[in-house]
Amino acid sequence: MPTTTDNAMLLQYCEEHRADMLDVLKRMVELESPSDNKAAVDHLGEYLAQQFESLGGKVTFFPQETCGAHLKVDFRGDGGKPVLLLGHFDTVWPLGTLKTMPFRVENGRAFGPGVYDMKAGITMMIFALRALRTAGRPESSVSSLCRPITVLLDTDEEVGSTTGRPVVEATAKDCEAVLVLEPSQSLKGQLKTARKGVGDYTIRVRGRASHAGVDFEKGHSAVIELSRQVLEIAKFTDVARGITVNPGVIHGGTRTNVVAAEAVAEVDIRIARAADADELEKKFTSLRPVDPNCTVEISGGLNRPPMERTEGTVRLFRLTQEQGKLMGMTLDEASTGGGSDGNFTSALGIPTLDGLGAVGEGAHASNESIILEELPRRAALLAALIRSL
Ligand SMILES: [Zn+2]
């Protein structure tokens, strides 16, 4: 059983390497990596592979045609199933964002595109591994004191993990537990023990166009029909049950003097419980036009199942709390409506704890930043958690 002294050593190591952590983070942020720029993402992937390889990891790339190669790194251990450190290294920020949002340190924070979501989290992985290596036998494999460790970083998480998902699932299914280094919740840094499931639907209505002045009666307005459908789906929301339906985008019609032939709504859905998925799906697919001269076409569905607060997840959270306490940290949990790759691993039944990454704010926003003081602390917490598993 790890002791206060063991954890204090991990913390001391990380605190002493705070400047190195900042260097690595800066380098990562300055290697911009928008999900849709394969070359840029691959470039960062090479840098990360070097970092992990220098710690004794065995690197595997999963090359992709349209996005960057996903990166997996395996570290040997003392036996048992591996623990998976999960994350992504793509960001929502287009190439060139650095010109207006450069990496900078100010008032105890680091700013820059992707710094919070989730390059600081990857930095923590690297330094947690380094700390464990130092705490063990420096010349040996990094995880000589614990289970094998697998790091998996995918490259299309911010655009739905279409190609990342199968790699994440295939890797996670053989693991003991999954630790997700996505940002923590709020400036309090809560760990995430539940995430909603996320999906989207497209509702496409086709009516009949006509001249709004000459032939008004001959027309069947897709805009009016879509409006009816939007009001109908709004009723699917049940906040108390954690179900939300948001028709975030609608468009349709061509000109004011034309009865609209076509209109489309794009809808975001969230569910807290997997058990609600089928019913919601049925509601969407049962939508029928009120005007029989219009057609309603529904496509889409759930793409991330919910990460529910399972027993396994709670056990991981309690363990993290204990380990944090040994280092003087008080840790709370929270749930969020946002999805991550942790949703996939949790849905497979693998105990998953999310939000172990940076403390900060402004994901996907121009004030994206992390609290620097927490960077070494969270890295040490991760190291302690890995060792206690
Ligand atoms: Zn993220």
The whole-number pLDDT of residue 6 equals 85
| Omega within 30 of 0 (cis) for the link into 118 | yes
Using only C-alpha atoms, the chain has a radius of gyration, in whole angstroms, of 24
Token code pair at residue 190: 């809560």
Distance 184 CA to ligand 1 centre (A): 10
The tens digit of pLDDT for each residue in 103-119 reads 999 999 999 999 999 99
Give buried/exposed letters for 242-254 (b at 16+ CB in 10 A, else e).
bbbbebeebebbe
Do 184 and 324 contact (CB within 8 A), yes or no? no
pLDDT at residue 66 greater than cutoff 50: yes
111 burial level (CB within 10 Å; 0-12, 13-18, 19+): buried
pLDDT at residue 280 greater than cutoff 70: yes
Distance 225 CA to ligand 1 centre (A): 37
Distance 364 CA to ligand 1 centre (A): 9
Do 268 and 198 contact (CB within 8 A), yes or no? yes
The tens digit of pLDDT for each residue in 329-357 reads 999 999 999 999 999 999 999 999 999 99
> Quick one: what percent of the chain has pLDDT higher than 90?
94
Closest CA to 167 of 307, 311, 67: 67
Do 62 and 73 contact (CB within 8 A), yes or no? no
* Whole-angstrom distance, CA of residue 83 vs CA of residue 169: 14
The tens digit of pLDDT for each residue in 47-64 reads 999 999 999 999 999 999
* Whole-angstrom distance, CA of residue 128 vs CA of residue 182: 15
The whole-number pLDDT of residue 73 equals 98
Distance between alpha carbon 319 and the CA centroid of its chain, in Å?
22
* Whole-angstrom distance, CA of residue 387 vs CA of residue 194: 24
Distance 250 CA to ligand 1 centre (A): 27
* Whole-angstrom distance, CA of residue 252 vs CA of residue 227: 10
* Whole-angstrom distance, CA of residue 184 vs CA of residue 331: 11
The whole-number pLDDT of residue 144 equals 52
* Whole-angstrom distance, CA of residue 247 vs CA of residue 263: 13
Distance 294 CA to ligand 1 centre (A): 40
Distance 378 CA to ligand 1 centre (A): 17
Helical (H) or strand (E) element with 377: helix 374-388
* Whole-angstrom distance, CA of residue 43 vs CA of residue 32: 9
The per-residue pLDDT of the chain, averaged, comes to 95
Distance 1 CA to ligand 1 centre (A): 32
In this prediction, residue 145 has a pLDDT band, given cuts at 50, 70 and 90, of low
pLDDT at residue 140 greater than cutoff 60: no
Distance 90 CA to ligand 1 centre (A): 8
The whole-number pLDDT of residue 136 equals 62
Helical (H) or strand (E) element with 263: strand 262-271
Distance 34 CA to ligand 1 centre (A): 12
The tens digit of pLDDT for each residue in 174-225 reads 999 999 999 999 999 999 999 999 999 999 999 999 999 999 999 999 999 9
Distance 21 CA to ligand 1 centre (A): 19
* Whole-angstrom distance, CA of residue 361 vs CA of residue 331: 17
Residue with tokens 């040997």: 76
